[in-house]
């Protein structure tokens, strides 16, 4: 039994069977890359917009992407129901009518049961949230906001281009529309120690957030982070260090929060460091073993986390 609220089990509870995500690249951009906010992007992001699962789809239509992914997933995992996941770049960064066309296109097949949209917290407004909320009658809908850290200093350092308050406002607004909200965070960001990372867990635990994706910071080719790494100005977490931190982090989150991801999933050919980031299943196994060895679980320290922050 998992000692955290695992995303796959959560989906099984709702749909009664295995449901798999199909990662899509909608061909959208990002204001942190096109010069609206900055041209540099977040320091860990490469030219493909951090959408590792959707990389192979770039340039294909939404329909083609779904057909291709469905075939692969059905064969490999036996899933018969799917959630379309707009992953690459900023998936609310377009006129409303274009967004509606893209989302509608992705939801035409009977076996699509959900919609998940990854975006920046500074790229939503009420019209977009209302559009997303309109799909909730027929689909499971999640909005995924990149935050990465609850520390201003870190957000500046990684060139996020938005602040923590912006994230809080966008969470509050999405919550008004009844959307499921997932926050993306990264452990091991430059300048952060263990205490700072756990403060991010405290921060998330106080907000109306329904899910979290926890990523390990990894360095990929062609990023500002790669340059810093090559100059020895940043280091990557060791495997044990990461696993222990994830367990500490989970302890502080509410037990009902859905854990959508517990480690990063870098493209093998792009990865510079740490090499163990490639061993996703090994990392997940170690996290589970550590939870058991420490006889702990998600939410074990949650009550304490709301005091004195
Ligand atoms: S917001 Fe996303 S797509 Fe844009 S630069 Fe940052 S990681 Fe890349």
Mutation choice for ligand 1 from 53, 117, 146, 149, CB with most ligand atoms inside 8 A: 146
Domain boundaries, given as residue ranges, for the chain: 7-301
In CATH terms, 7-301 corresponds, of 3.20.20.70, 1.10.260.40, 3.40.190.10, 3.40.50.300, to 3.20.20.70
Span from the CA of 42 to the centroid of ligand 1 (angstroms): 6
pLDDT at residue number 54: 59
Ligand 1 atom closest to the Cα of residue 44 is: 7
Q: What is the 3-state secondary structure (H, E, C) of 148-183?
A: ECCCHHHHHHCCCCCCHHHHHHHHHHHHHCCCEEEE
pLDDT at residue number 56: 62
**Ligand 1 in reach of 45 Cβ (< 6 A):** yes
> Nearest 5°: phi and psi at 152?
-55, -45
pLDDT at residue number 267: 87
- pLDDT tens digits, one per residue of 274-293: 999 999 999 999 999 999 99
- Per-residue tens of pLDDT for the chain, all 309 residues: 899 999 999 999 999 999 999 999 999 999 999 999 999 999 999 877 665 555 566 679 999 999 999 999 999 999 999 999 999 999 999 999 999 999 999 999 999 999 999 999 999 999 999 999 999 999 999 999 999 999 999 999 999 999 999 999 999 999 999 999 999 999 999 999 999 999 999 999 999 999 999 999 999 999 999 999 999 999 999 999 999 999 999 999 999 999 999 998 888 899 999 999 999 999 999 999 999 999 999 999 997 545 443
Mutation choice for ligand 1 from 42, 44, 120, CB with most ligand atoms inside 8 A: 42
> Nearest 5°: phi and psi at 239?
-60, -45
CA separation for the pair 118, 121 (Å, rounded): 10
Sheet harboring 180-187: ordered strands across?
A: 19-24, 81-86, 112-119, 140-148, 180-187, 211-216, 258-261
Q: What is the DSSP string of 240-261?
A: HHHHHHHHHHHHHS-TTSEEEE
> Nearest 5°: phi and psi at 110?
-65, -30
């Amino acid at each position: 039994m998992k000692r955290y609220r695992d995303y796959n089990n959560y989906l099984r509870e709702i749909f009664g069977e295995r449901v798999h995500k199909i990662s899509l690249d909608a061909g959208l951009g990002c204001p942190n890359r096109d010069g609206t906010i900055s041209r540099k992007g977040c320091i860990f992001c490469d030219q493909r917009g951090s959408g590792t699962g959707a990389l192979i789809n770039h340039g294909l239509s939404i329909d083609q992407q779904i057909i291709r992914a469905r075939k692969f997933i059905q064969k490999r995992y036996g899933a018969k129901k799917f959630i379309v996941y707009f992953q690459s770049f900023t998936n609310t960064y377009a006129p409303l009518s274009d967004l509606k066309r893209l989302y509608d296109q992705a939801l035409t097949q009977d076996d699509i049961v959900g919609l998940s949209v990854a975006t920046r917290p500074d790229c939503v407004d009420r019209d977009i949230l209302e559009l997303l909320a309109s799909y909730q009658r027929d689909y499971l809908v999640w909005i995924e906001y990149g935050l990465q850290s609850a520390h201003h200093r870190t957000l500046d350092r990684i060139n996020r281009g938005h602040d923590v308050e912006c994230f809080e406002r966008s969470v509050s607004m999405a919550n008004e529309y009844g959307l499921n909200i997932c926050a993306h965070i990264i452990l091991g960001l430059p300048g952060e120690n263990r205490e700072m990372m756990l403060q991010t867990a405290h921060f998330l635990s106080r907000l109306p957030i329904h899910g979290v994706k926890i990523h390990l910071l990894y360095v990929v080719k062609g990023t500002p982070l790669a340059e810093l790494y090559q100059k020895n100005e940043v280091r990557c977490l060791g495997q044990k260090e990461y696993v222990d931190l994830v367990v500490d982090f989970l302890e502080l989150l509410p037990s009902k929060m859905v854990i959508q991801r517990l480690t990063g999933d870098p493209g093998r050919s792009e990865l510079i460091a740490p090499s163990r980031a490639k061993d996703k299943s090994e990392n997940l196994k170690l996290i589970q073993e550590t939870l058991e060895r420490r006889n702990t679980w998600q939410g074990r320290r949650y009550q304490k986390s709301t005091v004195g922050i």
